[in-house]
Structure 1
Amino acid sequence: MPNLRDKMARYGFESNDDYEFQVRCLLEGPTRTLRTLNIEGDSERRKSAFATALGRALEFPHLLYLDFTEAHPPLPDVLLPPSQDEMGRAEPPIDPLDLTVSEACAQSEGEPTVLILDQLQAADFREHIRLHRFINDCFWEVRGGRYYANPRHLLLFLISESPLYHSLQKESFRVWVGRISEHQVEYRPADFGLGAAAVPLFAALAELFRALGSAPTHSEFGHILTDLQLHVRTSEHLRLCLYGRAEGIMRDALAAPALRAPLDAVVAAAATLLVAEHIELRGDC
């Protein structure tokens, strides 16, 4: 059976880091309040990709998403009926947050549901207070009406580019999604269908990535190997390849003078291997 990391990779989020433990803590926690995940990190929209991929990997039937920076968010499937005041006057349209949370409540009554609230720093602070009440009371109030959430079915993911409101943070399990993976993977030639002749190249690549402070994922590493076979012939080629293939490598870091020797070593090792044998890459790259 594929693990959580492999499942999330299928849905667009690839990392060397394993989030099994954090997700287990979240899912196996008490359900007297809504289980809430606070997704932090230095990765900007990578956090959004993490939240979406996690919801899909958990195979929840319903995944709802609201970005507070969107000027015109899409309408949810469940629309609240228009309302009038005591004088018969039509009230303003329902806010997108009210629509989305109300739909999440309705869906959670029958089936597992994930609600992702993204870019929460753009929301009015009063909405942060309402969300705190929602987590504890398990109902969302809209113009006097209450929409109840099933705490056994509903997961709430919160993403913000600034620290969460203190009370919201206290009710959440916090997870860090970094721009680069914290877990260093030591790749071996056999992982990519190569023999012992590729050992010097893999050693040179390992030294280069240590110098960069980077940990490429399996697919990124495989793409780099392919480029070394087909295209890379100079250190400048390798710089462009690394920036193009590895999400966590910054352009400025590749220009550092201290990186010249590690880059040259990789290019030389790749050239030696190409002379020695024809490389046939196999496996999932």
Structure 2
Amino acid sequence: MSSLRESMAEHGFESNDDYDFQVRCLLKGTPNRIRTLSIQGDGERRKTAFATALAHALETPHILYHDFSDEVPPTPEVILPPGTDEYGRKASPVDPLDDIVSQACALSEAESTVLILDQLQAADFREHIRIHRLIRDRRWLVRDAPYHANPRNLLLFLISEASLYHALQRESFRVWVGRVSERRVTLSPAELGLKPDAALLLDALNDLFGAVDASPTRSEMARLLDDLASHVQTEEHLIHALFGRCEGIDRDRMKDPELRPALSRVIEQLRDYLDIEQIVVGRGCEDVE
């Protein structure tokens, strides 16, 4: 678990925040219930990236995903011919939710499985009730046919942009995934592979990040510094580079006249660090389209 953050970054979710504690709480959940994680926050589809990366970081053999907002569900790998009842009437096709939950239950009998149910706010409220029953009873009914889940192997991740059904929420452990990292990391020049005299440039950048409430990750900082060393010459360039490299940067905020001194300081420290005698300073934020 000590490398959870690094493993999740390798699978597409990078953050300064450490989720080790929350994941330990989830995994030590009530043994007679399906362990369920309710992923909340203002990160929009970043929550989906979190769920997928966490499932991979846990080295789960089977990861299943269902999006309730998908009006055209993907074609299943196996297409069964239409069945008929004893009167010769054709049975309706299996609902995509029933199909994927029954698969998750079956797979969990033998191996670890993660089922991600995304955009639950688009689901019928009755589906919330059914999911709650799955967690409580460890059983999913499809046309009166039961599919049993192994609570030792099945993990359920729920993502919703609105409040969950109260009983469903009570059965879940909640985790917050924000638009940006809540934890701000101050990296030293050595940690970024820079000379010691880059400290003043990093100080200027950190002051700017504080002013715009941004918390760039290590890789974002590394890419930004590459741009600073190779391309950035003006305040306008700096704004484009910040927006281009750092998730969560508010572009409108970057054009606020109050930020001009902080932007200018970064350019000045960049000039000193690169030992450039003269650098053309942009006219300010109004130049950014």
Q: Is the shorter-chain TM-score for this pair beyond 0.5, marking a shared fold?
A: yes
CA offset at residue 245 of structure 1? 0.4
Gapped runs of 5+ residues in structure 1? Answer: 277-285
**Counterpart contact for 1:80–1:94, Cα < 8 Å:** no
1:126 maps to a residue whose letter is: R
Identity of aligned residues (%): 59
Q: What is the RMSD computed on CA atoms of the aligned residues? A: 1.5
Measure the CA separation in 1 of the matches of 2:272 and 2:137: 66
1:78–1:103 CA contact under 8 A, matched in 2: no
C-alpha separation in 2, matches of 1:52 and 1:64: 9
Q: Distance in 2 between matches of 1:58 and 1:185?
A: 25
Name 2:282's counterpart in structure 1. Answer: none
In 2, Cα distance between equivalents of 1:76 and 1:8? 28
Q: What SS does the aligned partner of 1:213 have? A: coil
C-alpha distance in 2, partners of 1:75/1:247?
33
The 2-side partners of 1:122 and 1:192 are apart by 43
Shifted more, 70-79 versus 159-168: the winner is 70-79
* Structure 2 partner of 1:280: none
Distance 1:178 1:33 in 2: 28
Q: Secondary structure of the equivalent of 1:116?
A: strand
Cα deviation for residue 199 of structure 1 reads 1.0
Match of 1:184 in 2: 184
TM norm structure 2: 0.92
* Unmatched tracts of structure 2, length 5 or more: 277-289
Aligned residues: 276
Q: Is 1:230 matched with 2:233?
A: no
Alignment of 1:266-277 (within 5 A): 266-275=266-275
Mapped contact 1:9–1:15 kept (Cα < 8 A): yes
- Distance in 1, matches of 2:139 and 2:89, equals 27
1:1-285 equivalent positions in 2, closer than 5 A: 3-77=3-77, 82-275=82-275
Shift >6 Å, 4+ stretches:
78-81
1:68-114 deviation line (CA, Å, top 9, x unaligned): 11122224457778543342211111000000000000110110000
1:122-143 deviations in whole A, cap 9, x for unaligned? 1111111100101000010000
Provide the secondary structure at the position in 1 that maps to 2:275.
helix
- Aligned 8 A contact 1:235 1:264 in 2: yes
Go from structure 1 to structure 2 and tell me whether the alpha carbon gap of 1:134 and 1:80 turns closer, same or farther (over 3 Å shift).
Answer: farther
Whether contact under 8 Å (2:104, 2:154) holds in the other structure is: yes
The SS at the match of 1:247 is coil
